[in-house]
Structure formats: structure tokens, C-alpha cells
Amino acid sequence: MGGTVLVVEDDADIVELLELYLTGGGYDVISAKDGVEALELLRERTADVALVDIMMPRMNGYDFIRELRRTSSMPVLVVSARTQTADKIVGLDAGADAFIAKPFDPLEVAAHIRAVLRRAGVTGPAPIAPPAATVDSVIVVGALAFDTERLVLTRSGEPVPLTAAELKIMAALMSSPGRVFSKEQLYACVSGDPVALGGSGVASSVMMHVSNIRAKLEDDPLSPRFIKTIRGLGYALDGS
């Protein structure tokens, strides 16, 4: 492993996304839902760098950083949707080393981690490069390329920032271009559990994820080029 990253974040989807990218990039990842849990975790485990949200229950990110700085000089990166100048100043004055705005590109987060670890004298893993590694690890469908090792989707060479759930859906669609996946099958890809046909909340959940993917991937999400809706059946990736 190339170092341990502590993620202090109460949004489970963001934690899962960061874990996917960072563990795939060679880091060990531990996580806590708030500042109190993070301080308790650090009494049992050590970490080389922390990624910290601001708005959390029990103990917010600012207070966590202040408490951490009483005993540790561990590099801290704030990852927050609060990006006003005042928020950044408070975070930096509390002891943070850098501020990353949400929504973020996981590749940018990884680059920040390498930078602060380098300054701290910790040797991290090699950078996560754009898909160019081995042919076996990259699925190419037209203008799309999905690196199954680095968990990076690109369109015409440009990274497409996706959440963990969106990555799982694209991994399924990219694995079989032209195949129609039902909403239940895609839901199972996200949750890891099979669901009954027409299960409660399945259709709306998958539709939301697909809509979000299209918003990031398509030139015109209302007239999608890549992810096609097959009426009454589900979705398929256009392999042309």
C-alpha cells in the first residue's frame, strides 16, 4: 500500500466513491462518519493524510481539525461544498493544508494526496494515469473507454466524473454493448443484491442514476447518443 487515507465524511456515496478510486490507486482507506468517530478511530489506527468534510453531525470538520492539531501534524485536505472565501479561511486557520470543492474529480483528489504526502516525506503509489495501461484492463466502446483497474471512464480521452453507483452501472453497460439490462439488473449492480421484479423504489433509483450519467456524458441528455432507453425493457449501451 502507498499510505493510509482517513476519510471523514457522512455521505456514504462519497465515501464509497473515494474508497473505489483510492484503494484502486494503491492506498489503504479508513473512514468515519463525523469528527468524534474519526478521533476515536485514530486512537486505534494511524493514517498518513485525512480528507475531511465540513458539515457533519456531532463534530464538524473545523472542530475535528482543531482537535487533531493538538496532537498531530498529519496533512489534512478539506473536501466540502462550502467554498466561500470565509469557509476556506476558517478551514486553513484551523489547520487544514488545502481545500477541495465539491463536486470533485477523484483524480484531482488523488493528485492532492500525492502532493501533501510528498511534502510530508511519505512515499505514495504512482499517479493514476489516463487509461493506457494494458488492453485487458480497458474496455473500449466507440468514444468511451472504461479502465476496470483504475475505475476511470473517459469520453474521447477526457475523464467523466462519476459517483460509485454510476461507475457500477457504466461497468455493466460497457461490459456488454448492445445488451439490454433491466432496471432490476442495474439496481443489483449498484446494491450488490438481487431484487424482485418491480421491487419498490428500483425503477426510480436506476432512472435517477442513468439521468445523472447522461447529464455528465451526453452532449444532449434528452437525446442520448450512448445510453439508450429500450422501452418496457431497460437500458443498453450503443456500441456503434
> For the domain that residue 224 is a member of, what is the CATH number?
1.10.10.10
Mean pLDDT of 14-38: 87
Higher per-residue pLDDT: 230 or 76: 76
Mean pLDDT of 30-51: 95
What are 111-167's pLDDT values in tens digits? 899 888 888 776 555 554 443 333 568 889 888 999 887 888 999 989 898 888 899
Q: 26-32, long-range: CB within 8 Å, 24+ apart, which pairs?
A: 26/1, 26/2, 26/124, 26/125, 26/126, 27/1, 27/2, 27/3, 27/113, 27/124, 27/125, 28/1, 28/3, 28/4, 29/4, 29/5, 30/4, 30/5, 30/6, 31/6, 31/7, 32/6, 32/7, 32/8
**pLDDT for residue 131:** 37
**pLDDT for residue 197:** 52
- Is 161 part of any domain? yes
Radius of gyration in angstroms for the set of CA atoms belonging to the chain, rounded to a whole number: 19
The enclosing domain of 81 has a CATH number of 3.40.50.2300
Has residue 94 got a pLDDT over 80?
yes
- Is 204 part of any domain? yes
Q: Which amino acid is at 19?
A: E
* Assessment of whether the complete model's pTM goes beyond 0.85: no
**E strand or H helix at 236:** strand 234-237
Which pLDDT band holds residue 110 (cuts at 50, 70, 90)?
A: confident
What's the number of domains the chain is made of? 2
- Is 225 part of any domain? yes
Has residue 186 got a pLDDT over 70?
yes
Has residue 195 got a pLDDT over 60?
no
Range of the domain at 165: 135-237
Highest-scoring range by mean pLDDT, 12-26, 117-131, 184-198: 12-26
Question: How distant, in Å, are the alpha carbons of 35, 45, 65, 90 from that of 62?
Answer: 9, 21, 5, 7
The Cβ of residue 22 has, within 10 Å, a number of other Cβ atoms equal to: 24
